[in-house]
Amino acid sequence: MNRIALVTGSSSGIGLASAVGLAKAGCRVVATVRDPSRADALEAARGSGADLEIRRLDVTDPDAINACVAGVLGDHGRIDALVNNAGAGVRGTLEQLDDPTIAAAMDLNFWGTLRCARAVIPAMRAQGSGNIVSVTSMNGLIGMPFSDAYNASKFAVEGLMEGLAPVLAQFGIGVSVIEPGPVNTGFTANVRRVEAQSEDGYAELSAAYEDRLRGLFSGGQTPEEVAAVVVEAAMSASPHLRYQSSLAASAMAARKLVDTTGDSVLAATSALIGAAPAR
């Protein structure tokens, strides 16, 4: 019997590569997209033999999530893995961000993940097994400059999943977060940016950060490399809580977890905007 995997945000990048990777690993994959007109790559993968179903899902719509999960359970009787990948970035520092912009980031990145997890938990508890895998980011562990709303949403996902993990383990459900470093996808091109104005004092710092990111992401991992880690977590009988997708990401995670003062982390993030950390 094939394992049933539900993947959100599957139209491109890590979500697409994860859906294809899970299909290659023997899963029947329900790959969801917010906009069906952007499902061309999924259609091509299915046409090449990948065991994929394509369904529409907007994770900011609670009713749509419940209907999607009910539909998968009705058609297949179980869900063995949920991969929470849907999300989007927003660039700007707190003074530049209005409440609706921050709320939209939290709704998609945090509440969308929460809603999907909550929808699948009852079925996973009933079957006594399942894995919930959420793609966060290094931004879920280390707050990056000019990423305040995105940081907040990903930190919230990490806290939610870390708290869920020991409880759901008692029902045979694994909970994991995937923390990629820079990945060479279209993610940065789709980031919503609040443009820094010269008069607000942030323009030079923001420009330095954007220049640094372009270099990091152009040399980043491929989506397929990250997807291999997603597949490992989703298929594991005893998954870890945290996975980093590269040695560089693991080194940054180790710095955060070992340095209780946060000083070395602040030094590293300050360097991204061409500044020395304030003392």
Give the catalytic positions in this structure: 150
Q: Is 127 helix (H, G, I), strand (E, B) or coil?
A: helix
Contact 244, 180 (CB under 8 A): yes
Output the six-digit token pair for 161.
């999943």
How far apart CA 246 and CA 229 sit, in angstroms, is 9
Distance from C-alpha of 115 to C-alpha of 67, rounded to nearest angstrom: 12
Q: What whole-number distance in Å separates Cα of residue 167 and Cα of residue 165?
A: 6
Instruction: Write down the residue that tokens 């870890």 correspond to.
Output: 240
Residue ranges of alpha helices (H) inside 170-222 are 203-218
